[in-house]
Amino acid sequence: MLFLVPVLLASSALGATYTLSDTHVGSDFLTSFVHEAIPDPTSGRVNYVDQATATSKNLTYAMGDTLILRADSTTVLTPSGPGRDSVRIKSVKSYTTHVTVFDIRHMPQGLGTWPAAWETLEDGWPASGEVDILEGANDVAPNQMTLHTSPGCTMPATRDQTGTTATTDCGDSAGANVGCGVHAPAANSYGTAFNANGGGWYGMERTPEFVKIWFWARNAANVPSGVSTGADTVITENWGTPTAYFPNTSCDIATKFGANNIIINLTFCGAWAGTTFNSAGGVGACNTYVESNPSVFDQAYWDIAGVRVYQ
């Protein structure tokens, strides 16, 4: 009689030593990233503004080790006019095999919000893939980490990660644009709990063999010293079990992913926050809520201490 024993797919590919290639801190963001004043690809009730407008309206503020990216929280909108002013920035440089470390003190929170820190190539999406590192909607924790690819990329349901597999089809063969997602194990990975705890660090490693994402809360005892200090080198094999692990067992990551830019943005409603607004506790239409209640978005801002890229 043949006994089939399930094998837990392990993130056993040894991590490498990576050297710091790009440091984005404070005013560095004003030259190493561009403000994208573009129509929102996710159909959000948002008006992305350019850098001059963002700085003049104090929606972008950079000084010392602080970058603030915020939404307008004073203007009542008209249904026929533009959406709520907000910011979407994209790195000038793009990356293939690399590690990105985000040091975030505060992220946008509140009903109607849809913040994200992620990597992709916008032209021809999703031909070069997408890695969503920190993303959610309507302040519903925990964080969701997701890959999006062209069809023909799936993930095993069980693998060596601390998070919980939500979906496995990265290529959205059914056309729902869901991707293959993993939920973080702790509420303080996202939203109000994340902010109350002083935020934390997200690290993402991408190679031709895998994509791994880690989260360390601000007061966690296991934050790698290279991560917390912004060291010149990091050794990912010392980072422990990732929060999300995406292996190439049924996905050719080398061909599904190209050179990607880093993007940080805040939109409202749209394809995710809009469709889940009522189930998250909202009353009425998400767009109307965003248009009519500017003051509820006083906590809808990013406070980023730095983004570092290692190659």
Over residues 33-86, the pLDDT tens digits come to 999 999 999 999 999 999 999 999 999 999 999 999 999 999 999 999 999 999
> Which of the pair, 5 or 209, is modelled with greater confidence?
209
- Bond preceding residue 247 cis, omega within 30 of 0: no
CATH topology of domain 18-310: Jelly Rolls (2.60.120)
201's CB contacts (< 8 A; 6+ apart) are 101, 102, 103, 104, 214, 215, 216, 223, 227, 228
pLDDT at 185: 98
- What are the counts of helices (DSSP H) followed by strands (DSSP E) for the chain? 6, 19
Amino acid at position 299, single letter: Q
Rounded mean pLDDT of 10-23? 75
Instruction: Please give the DSSP secondary-structure letter assigned to residue 270.
Output: I
Q: What is the reported pTM?
A: 0.94
Segment 18-40, tens digit of pLDDT: 999 999 999 999 999 999 999 99
What H or E segment, with its residue span, contains residue 48? strand 46-48
Query: Closest by alpha carbon to 135, among 149, 146, 125?
Result: 146
Segment 270-302, tens digit of pLDDT: 999 999 999 999 999 999 999 999 999 999 999
Amino acid at position 82, single letter: P
265's CB contacts (< 8 A; 6+ apart) are 36, 48, 86, 87, 88, 89, 115, 116
Q: Residue 14: pLDDT above 80?
A: no
Neighbours of 132 (CB within 10 A): 24
List the catalytic residues. 130, 135
Is the dihedral angle over the CA atoms 230, 214, 309, 70 positive or is it negative?
Answer: negative
